[in-house]
Amino acid sequence: MRVTLGSSARSSHEPEFFSLKNRLVARAASAGGTGQAKFATGEAEYAPNGTMYGLAECMRDLSGEECNRCLQLLSTDLPSCCNRYQGGTAQNFNCRLRVQAYAYYDLAPDAPPPAAAPPAPISSVGKGRLQHAILFVAISVGTLFVLVAVLACVRRQRRRNKAKKEQQDNAREGMKYISLQVLRAATSNFSIDNKLGEGGFGEVFKGELQNGMKIAVKRLSKNSAQGFDELKNELVLANRLEHKNLVPLLGVCLQEKLVVYEYMPNGSLHTSLFSNSPDSTC
Please enumerate, by residue number, every residue annotated as part of a binding site for ATP. 218
In order of 175, 196, 198, 212, 233, the CA distances from 186 in angstroms are 19, 14, 18, 10, 25
Residues tagged in the binding site annotation: 218
**3-state SS, one letter per residue, for 231-270:** HHHHHHHHHHCCCCCCCCEEEEECCCCEEEEECCCCHHHH
Distance CA 219, CA 196 (A): 11
In this structure, are residues 86 and 11 in contact, taking their beta carbons and an 8 Å threshold? Answer: yes
